[in-house]
Structures are given as C-alpha cells and as structure tokens.
Structure 1
Amino acid sequence: MRYRQLGRTGLEVSEVGFGGAGVGHVWGETSDSECERAIRRAVDLGINFFDTSPMYGGGKSEENLGAGLAGLRDKVVLATKVRLHSEDELANLKSAIRSSVEQSLARLRTERIDVLQIHHQVGPERGQYLAVASPPRYALLLTEADCLAFAEAAQGLIDDGTVGFLGITAWDGDGKVVRALLESGAFATAQVLYNLVNHSAEAPPPPGFDDVDQGQALVAARDNNIGVIGIRSHAAGALVETLDREVAADSDVARDHARAGRLSFLLSETMPTLSAVALRFCLDNPAISTVTPGIKKTAEVEEAVRVADLPPLSIEDRNKISALYQNQFSG
C-alpha cells in the first residue's frame, strides 16, 4: 500500500481508503459480521483511512466501524461528518455539532475524530436538495456563510482535541462557493466526486454534459493545498458489470451503468472487471489524496488493494476514455 499526504494536515493516508456507506448496509446486501471482517482485513492490508457518516444506515456504519476497529484505533485516520437537520440546528450550531459528534464518538468507540466534515451540499443561497431519491429525503443546502459559521462553532472541539481538522463535502455543490470555502483557510479537506464517467472536477465539462458539474474542485483543492478524499469512484455502484441492487430505469445509476458498457475495451487479464478499472482510473490522479470506494465485504477490500498494486492505465487507454467522455459516451 502506498500513502499520500492529506493536504496540509500532516496526516499520511493510504491511497485506497475505506468508504463507510457499504458497512452501513447502503450499497447492497451484507451482514454486520461480514462488515467487521472487512474492516479488520482492510487494516491488515494497510488501509488506514476510514470515512463514514451518521447518515450511512442511520448510524449503522459508525457502529460497525467502531466494532471492527476495536483495538486498532491508533492505526487509522478516522473521518466522519455532521448533518444538520433543521433551521433550528443551524441557529444553534455549537450545541448541534457537539451533540452529533458525541453520538458519533459513542458509536465509533473513540475519543477523537481526525477529520470532521460538513455533510451538506453548498450553494449561493440556503435551500434544500434531494439527498436520497427513494424514498425521497431532502437536506439543507448551506451557504458559504453557513459553512464558515460551522467552522467557527466547531473550533472548541478542535481546541479540546476532540476533532483534528475540518472538511467540506464539495460534490454536487456550486463551484464558486466550493472554491471560496477552499480558499477560506477554514477547511483542510474536501470530498470530491471524480470517476470514469464524470471528469468535471478536473476540467470544464464537454458540450451536452448531462451530469452534475463538479466545478473543477480538484483544481481548487490543489491550488489551496487541500486534502482530497475521492468519492463515488464507482459512480454509486454503477461502474460494474452487474448492479448489486435494483435502480429506476431513469436514474443516474442506470445511465452511468449503461455508459460503463462502452468501457469494456479496458478489461484485461490483470484488470478483468470494470470495478478494478474504475478504481485504477481514480488512483492514477495525483490530485487525489485517498480514493474511498464503498466497501462492505472482505473480497472487495482484497480486490481494492490488489488494484492499488497494479501499474497505471496506459496513456492510450486514458486518451480513449477522454474521447468517450468528450462525446458523452455516444456515437
């Protein structure tokens, strides 16, 4: 396993991280015991960055990580998040943040959180966005001022050692607001969406782009020495041969899964699955500190670590991927 600097935090994190949604039973079927085995196997194989949220399975992800990391806490970098559920919580940030953190600490069986992240999309005006499609669940869309107020309110947790660093969720946010937050100095990390079918965190999207523009967040992060946590490396589970759950025919996952079918030329003896190719593609980007695929089984851990040991994709293959992306996988 290779390790990279997490921006200016001074933390060294494994280039393959552990995305915690899977062990919250969010991505397909699994069991708590299998989740715990996967977590411990990840540590055995050198994965030291674990990312979770109270929102993953209603706390189930944090609970399983707490169980799986029992006795291993000092070997890992642990990141979780805060989701604010009402305008009232926004008006009482200190108490809302502390309450969320205390509950996370209990579930994670730890006394500290290395990276505490705002689990909200951001925009120029406060509002709501669809956080979960089915059944529909909405979350608060926060402004730049809201996020800076969050950072100020969380400072006490940093001062007393409960929290190490603060981060934002940059995916699907307004590009100007994301850049302003990354330039503010208040945040040390950012979660950034980047994968085979959406490169807009790195460069302006092509004509006809029908996904969410990630606003060149990777560029803004690099310019401000922000640690980048790469998310949605597999496009919410779409970049695989067979989906692990039923999805609506008109969903983004269905669209991206169809596009994945155009990438079969990338399969080889060493990378026989689209899942492997999807991870390798993200690992090849030096702007990303750690890539956090959603993991729920031991076999997925072992496959991710195996892919990390493979050589980068060839320039020829990357050029072919870029050409497909520029044409939005049509023609």
Structure 2
Amino acid sequence: MIYNQLGNTDMKISNYSLGASAFGSVYSETDDQECVELLKTALKRGVNLIDTSPWYGHGKAETVLGKILPQLDRSLYYINTKVGRYEKDISGMFDFSYERTIKSVDESLKRMNIDYIDVIQVHDFEFAPNLEIIVNETLPALQKVKEQGKARYIGITAYPIDILKSLIQKSKVKIDSILSYCHGSMNDNSLQDHMEFFESQGIGVINASGLSMGLLTDRGPAKWHPAGVKIREACKNAAVYCQERGSNISRLALYFSISQPKIASTLYSTSKLAKLEANLDVVENGITDEEKQLMGEVVERFFDPLESKSWEGVEVESYWKKLKKASEGGSQDFEYA
C-alpha cells in the first residue's frame, strides 16, 4: 500500500481508500456483518481512510460503521464524513444552513460512536441555491465544529471542478481538501488539468468513483446514471473490447485511477468482501504489461475521441425541476449519485 500526504494536513492516507456508500444499501441490499468484516479486512491490508455521509442510506452507512469503529484502535484509520445532503425526498434533500450543519455533525458522531471526525466535508454543494450560503453559513459552521474539537479538517465535495475552485477562492474559512468524483478515471481524467491549482493552495485531493459510477464495468451503469448516450456507448464498447481480449475493464480502471500523480487517494465503495479482495489484488500487485498496453488502447480508441466527457449540470437541472414540481404538490424522490 502506498501512502500520500493529504495536502497540508498531517494525514498520510492510503492511495486506495474505502467509500462507505455501499454500506448504506445504496446500490443493493447489504449484509451488515459482511460490511463489518470487509472493514476489518481493509484495515488489516493497509487501507486507512474511510469516507461516508449521512446521505448514504440516510444514516445507515454511518450506523453500520458505528458497530465496529469503537472496537478499533483510533490510530488505525481516518474517518471523513459530510454535511448538507440528507433525505431521499427532494424537498428535504439538501440543507446547508448553519444550524442544520452543526446538528448534522453531532448526529454523525453519535451514529458512528466516535469523538471526532478527521475531515468534515460539504456534500455536493453545487445543489445549493447559491455559493453565498456555503460561504456565510455552512463553512463557518464547520469552522465552529473544528474549534470545538469535533473535526480536525474541513473539505468540500462536488462534481463540477470549477465550482470547487470558485468556492476555495471565495471562502473565508480554510479549506483543507477537496473530493472530486468521476473526473479521475479512464473515460474522464480532467482532474489532472486542475492539480496545479489545488497544489498551489495546499489542498489535498481525493478522487472518487474510478469506475465512473458503474460506467466502467461489464454490467454497466444504473438507469439513473446522468451520462449521455455517447458516453454510455463508449464505455459499453470499451468493456466489450476488454472482454474480447480476456480482460476486465473494471480492473484496468482501478489501476488507472490509483496510478494518477498528485492525487492523495481514490475512493472505492463495495459491500462485498470478494470484490474488496479483487481490488486489493490490483492495488498490491498491479496489472500485467499486456493489461497496461490494453488500458492505453482503450483510452485512445474509445475515450480520447469523445467531444464531451462530462454530464455537468444534468443532475442539478433535474433537481431544480423536481423541486419545483414538489413545491406544487406531492413528494419527489431523487436517485442516488
């Protein structure tokens, strides 16, 4: 396992880290005991960063973690969680207010049975009505939490990279890390274009979803995936191309993401012990020279030609449309992302 410094923090984190969204039965029904065993195995194999959120299973992921974290030596792991995104019903999904942020941190600490959080992050703040509420309420609330000793560092998460940079420039509160997802993967590696900026600010970078939320798998993404038709087709064709050559696109995608320079860690979420073992095999042993050559071919043949590799704005637009409908009567659920 390789360990990297997270920006200017004192955290040296594993370059492969554990996302706990799957613990909340986000993608399929899960077995809590298997999740516990999976976490123990990950820690024994050198994974030392766990990332979660109240949004994952609406508290379930944190509750599952709370069954095991108190039994573990606190020096073995870092735990990051988030504020701002909560309920499936769209009318109560987001709340970035000062009061709710303070309350959310206390709820997370209680669910996970821990005394402090390593990095407390603002979750998907591109869905906020404006950046001012994040600057004037959410981040000051997290600064208060930090001063109280309930969190050590402050981070932000979002899909659009430009909005991460914009908030960093506007914030009066020191931001220590960013979490970017689906931009450090085979089909879209645009995160690398921004690394110089984050490095200049002393900000650590965590990459998430190296499989692009299921695009880079043989099974393909869920119906709710916001990617357009051309991106979906390119990823599907790439997966078939790998199969025909006796390989698996997810294996190549994992190696691609954890090999990217300057990124402190890449998050992967699974609730299946066998899947964790397969991932750790790639982390510990790498891939063959033939697979590396295939990985390069896939990027060049299927992903480099894409005119647009992003689905930026699609989910936000859908959210505001559904929120408007909900305000006119009836509840609206918003699928996981």
Instruction: Tell me which interval the TM-score lies in, with the shorter structure as reference length.
Output: 0.7 to 0.9
Give the distance between the partners of 1:317 and 1:274, measured in 2 at CA.
8
TM-fit CA distance, 1:232: 1.8
SS at match of 2:64: helix
Q: Does 2:167 match 1:181?
A: yes
TM-fit CA distance, 1:77: 0.4
Structure 1 stretches of at least 4 aligned residues deviating more than 6 Å after TM superposition:
85-88
Give the distance between the partners of 2:55 and 2:295, measured in 1 at CA.
37
> Where does 1:242-261 land on structure 2 (aligned, <5 Å)?
242-243=219-220, 247=223, 251-252=226-227, 256=231, 258-261=233-236
Q: Does 2:303 match 1:303?
A: no
**Contact kept? 1:201, 1:219, Cα under 8 Å:** no
The structure in which a higher percent of residues are helix is 2
- The count of corresponding residues between Structure 1 and Structure 2 is 294
TM-fit CA distance, 1:151: 2.1
When structure 1 is superposed on structure 2, of 179-188 and 48-57 the one drifting more is: 179-188
Q: Does 2:235 match 1:231?
A: no
Q: Please name the residue that 2:139 is paired with.
A: 151
Give the distance between the partners of 1:247 and 1:87, measured in 2 at CA.
20
Q: What is the RMSD of the two structures over their aligned residues, measured on CA atoms?
A: 3.1
Q: Does 2:192 match 1:202?
A: yes
Identity %: 24
Change (3 A) 1:9 1:266: farther
TM-score by length of structure 1 reads 0.78
> Where does 1:161-180 land on structure 2 (aligned, <5 Å)?
161-172=149-160, 175=162, 177-180=163-166
Structure 2, gaps ≥5 residues long:
87-91, 309-337
Change (3 A) 1:82 1:12: same
TM-fit CA distance, 1:256: 4.9
Q: Please name the residue that 2:250 is paired with.
A: 275
Give the distance between the partners of 2:122 and 2:202, measured in 1 at CA.
19
TM-score by length of structure 2 reads 0.77
Change (3 A) 1:262 1:80: same
SS at match of 2:65: helix
Structure 1, gaps ≥5 residues long:
123-128, 130-139, 204-215
Give the distance between the partners of 2:8 and 2:260, measured in 1 at CA.
18
> Where does 1:280-299 land on structure 2 (aligned, <5 Å)?
280-299=255-274
> Where does 1:1-331 land on structure 2 (aligned, <5 Å)?
1-74=1-74, 75-83=76-84, 90=96, 92-93=97-98, 95-122=99-126, 129=127, 140-143=128-131, 146-147=134-135, 149-172=137-160, 175=162, 177-183=163-169, 184=171, 186-193=174-181, 194-203=184-193, 216=194, 218-243=195-220, 247=223, 251-252=226-227, 256=231, 258-264=233-239, 272-311=247-286, 314=292, 317-318=295-296, 321-322=299-300, 324-328=302-306
In the TM superposition, what whole-angstrom CA distance separates every residue of 1:166-186 from its partner, at most 9, and x where no partner exists? 00013235x1x4213334562
